[in-house]
């Protein structure tokens, strides 16, 4: 029994390949396939572009570059850094958001108590907890995947980002 050597190649904002899809049944137009690095490369800093749907949840790709606005949500969210280093600052809000779906802007200077920060590198994940405001900061361009619920800041670009 022989085993072929398989090399794992990690993509980045600076170096990625588009990839392809092999359709087993159905039509290519019934499938969504996009490259998160390509999506981030063509996005504005912290534009929340939906790249995946799972029941009521979405996966968004964000181009991390510079400092983001403060965000909040009425539910927990998660962020995974796929490329680069991203600092996430947290505030415990004095008046947390009580309802609504998806990420919301928290205001220029949200009222709350600083909770600290986490520094995420490639593959690191953090919880963006309910009742807090958070902002991202990256000294060089990077890529974040964020799991949340579709909201007013979520952007759909299916015609532009899907494999054709």
- Would you state the pLDDT for residue 22? 72
What's the domain count of the chain?
Answer: 1
Domain membership flag for residue 144: yes
* Neighbour tally for 118: CB within 10 Å: 15
Burial status of residue 18 (CB atoms within 10 A of its CB: 0-12, 13-18, 19 or more) = exposed
- Where residue 143 sits, what CATH number does that domain have? 2.60.120.10
| More confident position, 158 or 134 | 134
139 occurs within a structural domain: yes
- Would you state the pLDDT for residue 80? 98
- pLDDT value at residue 93: 98
Global pTM reads: 0.86
- Over residues 30-55, the mean pLDDT reads 87
């Amino acid at each position: 029994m022989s085993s072929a050597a398989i090399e794992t190649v990690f993509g980045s904002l600076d170096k990625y390949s588009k990839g392809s899809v092999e359709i087993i049944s159905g039509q290519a137009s019934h499938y969504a396939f996009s490259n998160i690095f390509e999506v981030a490369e063509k996005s504005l800093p912290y534009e929340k572009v939906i790249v995946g749907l799972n029941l009521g949840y979405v996966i968004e790709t964000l181009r991390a570059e510079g400092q983001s606005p403060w965000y909040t949500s009425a539910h927990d969210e998660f962020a995974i850094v796929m490329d680069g280093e991203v600092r996430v600052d947290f505030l415990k809000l004095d008046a947390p958001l009580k309802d609504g779906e998806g990420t919301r802007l928290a205001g220029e200077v949200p009222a709350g108590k600083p909770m600290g920060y986490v520094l995420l590198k490639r593959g690191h994940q953090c919880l963006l907890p309910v009742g807090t405001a958070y902002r991202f900061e990256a000294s060089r361009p990077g890529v974040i995947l964020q799991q949340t619920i579709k909201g007013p800041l979520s952007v759909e670009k299916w015609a532009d980002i899907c494999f054709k």
